[in-house]
């Protein structure tokens, strides 16, 4: 018998997760259901085998795994209206920033099974980096099932529940920071009459290659920097400007600000 997995919310991330399941071998063992205030979103998912449900209570009663794929500011309303329909058999999966297991338990059951997830937007193209935390009394088997879903769309890492806010800067928000960094290189290229297309192609491949060097080469980040930095060469001159501008300190401030906001939004 297939495991029933339901999504409350079919926005970009929720739809991406459903598509990841549908396009993987997991679809052989999973039946997908979804509900959303925008019925057009549900219609677009029917083509990949997602059954539309037009009543949230019905979805909860039908599905063992229920994904809360809604914005953090919608949690109060949704859980106030439907939290009472969750049972001890459900596994509640939250993909929203700042939402805690304690909060979800307070709105559903004191012993509710909760998995907290922080995915990122590259999941949309199967290159996601997802952090997950298990909240007792979720079993290892149940948690493994959720991890498998996110592995279908990229890499996963398990972190403790009390670090789910800190991890946001590392994988959840970091794509935006990387895009801004990339924009600086593309803008420079255009200023010296190199086409945006050429700059994007070369710089993005450099990003991919550099990332693989970090993960696969066996060298530390400091060693990798040194490998590119020939004495008296161009790289060192550029690095001098980045060091003078305290790039790593700015990145740390960025991460601290991101984490602070996560705590402010926390429930």
pLDDT (tens digit per residue) in 151-191:
999 999 999 999 999 999 999 999 999 999 999 999 999 99
CATH number of the domain residue 243 falls in: 1.10.3730.10
Q: Which of 127, 162, 197 is the last residue of a domain?
A: 162
Q: Which residues contact 236 (CB under 8 A, 6 or more apart)?
A: 229, 230
Name the nearest CA neighbour of 11 among 32, 38, 33, 31: 38
- Range scoring the smallest mean pLDDT among 23-27, 160-164, 228-232: 23-27
Domains held by the chain: number: 2
5 is written with which tokens? 């997995």
User: pTM of the full predicted structure?
Assistant: 0.92
pLDDT band at 1, cuts 50/70/90? confident
Q: DSSP 3-state assignment of 229?
A: coil
Share of the chain above pLDDT 90, in %: 92
Is pLDDT above 90 for 233? Answer: yes
Tokens describing residue 87: 């049972």
What would the pLDDT profile of 98-129 be if each residue is shown by its tens digit?
899 999 999 999 999 999 999 999 998 999 99
Domain that holds residue 122: 3-162
The CATH number of whichever domain residue 133 belongs to comes to: 3.40.50.720
- List b or e across 142-178, with b for residues whose CB sees 16 or more CB atoms inside 10 angstroms: bbebbbbbbbbbbebeebebeebbbbbbbbbbbeeee
Q: Give a yes or no: residue 167 inside a domain.
A: no
Q: In the predicted model, is pLDDT for residue 267 greater than 90?
A: no
- Claim to verify: residue 146 and residue 182 sit in the same structural domain: no
**Whether 73 and 121 share a structural domain:** yes
Work out the pLDDT band at 18, boundaries 50, 70, 90.
very high
Residues 148 and 194 in one domain: no
Average pLDDT, the chain: 96
For residue 166, give both structure tokens: 């800190």
Whether the predicted pLDDT of 266 surpasses 90: no
Same structural domain, 154 and 182: no
Contacts of 267 (CB under 8 A, 6+ apart): 72, 75, 76, 98, 99, 100, 103
Q: For 27-70, what is each residue's pLDDT tens digit?
A: 899 999 999 999 999 999 999 999 999 999 999 999 999 999 99
């Amino acid at each position: 018998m297939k495991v029933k997995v339901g999504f409350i919310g079919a926005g970009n991330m929720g739809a991406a997760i459903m598509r990841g399941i549908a396009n993987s071998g997991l679809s052989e063992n999973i039946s997908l259901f979804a509900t959303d205030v925008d019925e057009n979103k549900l219609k677009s998912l029917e083509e990949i085998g997602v059954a539309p449900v037009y009543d949230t209570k019905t979805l909860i009663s039908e599905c063992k795994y229920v994904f809360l794929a809604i914005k953090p500011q919608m949690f109060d309303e949704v859980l106030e209206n439907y939290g009472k329909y969750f049972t001890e058999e459900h596994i509640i999966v939250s993909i929203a920033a700042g939402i805690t297991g304690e909060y979800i338990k307070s709105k559903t059951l004191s012993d509710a099974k909760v998995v907290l997830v922080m995915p990122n937007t590259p999941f949309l193209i199967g290159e996601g980096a997802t952090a997950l935390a298990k909240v007792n009394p979720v079993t290892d088997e149940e948690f493994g099932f959720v991890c498998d879903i996110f592995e279908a769309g990229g890499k996963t890492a398990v972190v403790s529940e009390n670090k789910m806010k800190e991890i946001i800067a590392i994988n959840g928000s970091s794509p935006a920071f990387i895009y801004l960094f990339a924009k600086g290189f593309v803008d420079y290229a255009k200023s010296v009459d190199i086409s945006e297309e050429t700059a994007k192609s070369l710089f993005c491949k450099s990003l991919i290659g550099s990332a693989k060097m970090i993960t696969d080469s066996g060298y530390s980040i400091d060693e990798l920097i040194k490998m590119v930095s020939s004495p008296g060469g161009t790289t060192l001159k550029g690095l001098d400007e980045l060091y003078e501008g305290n790039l790593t300190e700015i990145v740390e401030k960025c991460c601290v600000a991101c984490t602070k906001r996560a705590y402010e939004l926390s429930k």
